[in-house]
Structure 1
Amino acid sequence: MTRIAVDLLGEGLPFGPLLEALPTALDADPRLVLILVSPAEGVREELARLGISAGERVLLRSATHTVAGGPAALRQVRSRRDAGVRVAARLAREGDADAMVSVAPVESVVAAAQFTHGLLPGATRAVLAAIIGRQDAGVVLCDAGSATGVTADELAQSALLGSAYAALRFAVEAPRVGLVAPRKALLDPARRLADELLRSLDLNYAGPCTVESVLARPESAGQDRAAAGWSSVAGSDRRLEVAVTDGYTGDVVLSTIRGVSSWERRGSAGGTDAGLDPAWGTLEDPDVRGGTIVLGVDGIAVHAEHTRGGSVDAGAGGLLAALRVASLAVRGDLVPRTRAAMATLVARRRALAGLAG
């Protein structure tokens, strides 16, 4: 069985619509056990309405505090032991759950994962990874918004962690990694150093790439590779599976995807054709950053977007996506994979420092 602790409190938005996803999740995966972290009141009644009784596959745990996003996230996560995101993280750390999923603001999920689970040996910060692009040709975006500012070593961490995740997610042996930059002529000092470091690591590194080449969707076989989602690096023989950047740029990329996809759907609803694929976005729903996973921590933590004014379908879809990602990470031994990836970087650091072994 795969046990996932699900924080439904988040920042205090109504959780009723999220419960609509539970019958689908439980029916689709008979090995799934959900530990719902929620207020004491109203949950059993909502579950009963959906035909779910708390028991063997749906367990309840109480939490009393919510958390806010933004700059206050880390302080609130540390000070509110009974916050939903902290309770879910603690259940995973203490072995009562195999992973955690939370609808708290993404920065709160990152803070709880790093504070509760701790970083993997060799990691200096947590990294967010999101899937962008079509489901049949997705790209792991690292960092997808965990922090601003970046060093060459942190870009290398993102590349190694993202490669380990992409290998599991896309079932490829050697994911192709690109370093996102405006263009080669505009590489900043951190990216220039990162480019050198990435070439020295055991990675299938393709070199610098543009956001345009990462986001371009596959078209018919007769079209140009660069316009069809292939790496723009000379000599590339297949598309990228991992795009590495800083958290600020990654968050802008995700916001752009959601905005353009929302515009495209409004255009389609009005009878116009913007020429964009409705599946172009993060996971199945471009409005939901469902399934954004925290890498570099000694545990599995996944964020499911739960926005104010979001539709029932969007909220439920985000939670379903996050549950699928968490289950895959547990069953695919993602933490040991990422631990081994970080060991590669530790060995490289020692070599650069002139240390043996």
Structure 2
Amino acid sequence: MARIAVDLLGGDQAPAVVVDGALRACRADPFLHLTLVGPAEAADAVVAALKPAERRRVTTEITPTATVPGAMRLVAEGRADAVVSAGDTRVAVVSAARELGRWPGVRRPALTAVLPTAAGRVILLDVGSAVDSDAETLAWHARLGAAYASVVHRIPAPRVGLLTIGTEPGKGDRLRRTLPALLYDLPLPGGARYAGLVEGGDVVLGRAADVVVTDGFTGNVLLKGLETAYALTGPPAPEKDLPPRAALLLGVSGTVVVCHGAAAGPDLAAGIALAADLHRRASVAVIADLLRAQRGIAND
């Protein structure tokens, strides 16, 4: 059983779209338990739509406001296994760091998304958490992305690329011009290696890197631009192979999945399913252990 705390007020169309997503998720997974965090009327709408047998798998945490901190607190207290929210990203990141705590060495947690590509999938981080990253933050994004690729997607020796405006040395702003030297020498978990500079087109093609590292501002712009283009023209992958439109917050001591503010019911359901799968595989704990072990070896 996976116990997921769901923020009922998160999203542009909340609570209606969250109610829809929660109903879809509950009916699709008989081993799911939802705790709906929000005002009583929104929670009652979900419970009322469920069959009597399904209602035993749904509880409520009545919180008229501050639903995201309330949901994080459930995980911190051991009353839930993961949080799903489509609310304000900044609130989710700050609440997760405060209620769950950050991993040692991680100053800026990263929102990690998976995008469809012509060659399969690519892991992109950050997509909105740390919008004004420095070299230390992007180096940590490289570690986090490599560990995520290795543990969750079982990619052997993931290739980590740095997003910039050209693949020739010296391209980009001051940060992108100085960072490659650091990344070349940076020990990465999972046998990962720095694969060099990548451009936006490389993200669509998916052949140059398994993990693409950038700041949250650029990553969010790229993510939303690609999603809109894919919605108009179709994604470069079969529909059944599309990853969920949700991001995992890496760097905090708990499973936190953030969906888009414009998410529809199926997107919320997919985010809940992602959170449940990550919990069942103990993915966040395994990633943390891998990073801890890799840094210990590097420090030796």
Q: Give the TM interval when normalised to the shorter protein.
A: 0.7 to 0.9
Q: Deviations over 1:224-267 (max 9, x none)?
A: xxxxx311xxxxxxxx2211011111011012113323443xxx
Match of 1:212 among 201, 206, 211: 201
Please report how far the alpha carbon of residue 279 of structure 1 lies from its aligned counterpart in structure 2 after TM superposition: 5.5
Please report how far the alpha carbon of residue 123 of structure 1 lies from its aligned counterpart in structure 2 after TM superposition: 0.6
Between Structure 1 and Structure 2, the one with more strand by share is 2
Match of 2:96 among 113, 122, 134: 113
Is 1:277 equivalent to 2:262 in the alignment? no
Q: Deviations over 1:175-232 (max 9, x none)?
A: 221111111331444334432232221323212111211112xxxxxxxxxxxx311x
Q: 1:170 to 1:346 in 2, by over 3 A?
A: closer
State the alpha-carbon separation in 1 of the partners of residues 158 and 176 from structure 2: 20
Please report how far the alpha carbon of residue 318 of structure 1 lies from its aligned counterpart in structure 2 after TM superposition: 1.5
Matches within 5 A, 1:243-262: 243-262=212-231
Is 1:186 equivalent to 2:144 in the alignment? no
Q: Which protein shows a greater Rg? A: 1
Please report how far the alpha carbon of residue 122 of structure 1 lies from its aligned counterpart in structure 2 after TM superposition: 1.0
Matches within 5 A, 1:3-18: 3-10=3-10, 13-18=13-18
After TM superposition, the structure 1 stretch with the greater mean CA deviation from structure 2, 296-305 or 49-58, is: 49-58
State the alpha-carbon separation in 1 of the partners of residues 220 and 12 from structure 2: 23
SS in 2 for 1:170: coil
Please report how far the alpha carbon of residue 13 of structure 1 lies from its aligned counterpart in structure 2 after TM superposition: 4.4
Match of 2:275 among 321, 326, 331: 326
Query: Gapped runs of 5+ residues in structure 1?
Result: 66-82, 217-228, 232-239, 265-275, 308-313, 352-356
Q: 1:215 to 1:123 in 2, by over 3 A?
A: same
Query: Gapped runs of 5+ residues in structure 2?
Result: none
Matches within 5 A, 1:2-151: 2-10=2-10, 13-51=13-51, 55-65=55-65, 83-134=66-117, 137-151=120-134
State the alpha-carbon separation in 2 of the partners of residues 261 and 136 from structure 1: 15
Q: 1:46 to 1:121 in 2, by over 3 A?
A: closer
Please report how far the alpha carbon of residue 2 of structure 1 lies from its aligned counterpart in structure 2 after TM superposition: 1.1
Q: Is the CA contact (8 Å cut-off) linking 1:150 and 1:190 kept in structure 2?
A: no
Specify which structure has the bigger relative contact order, considering alpha-carbon pairs within 8 angstroms and separated by 6 or more residues. Answer: 2
Aligned length: 293
State the alpha-carbon separation in 2 of the partners of residues 345 and 190 from structure 1: 25
Structure 2 length normalisation: TM-score? 0.86
Q: Alignment RMSD, CA only? A: 2.8
Identity %: 33
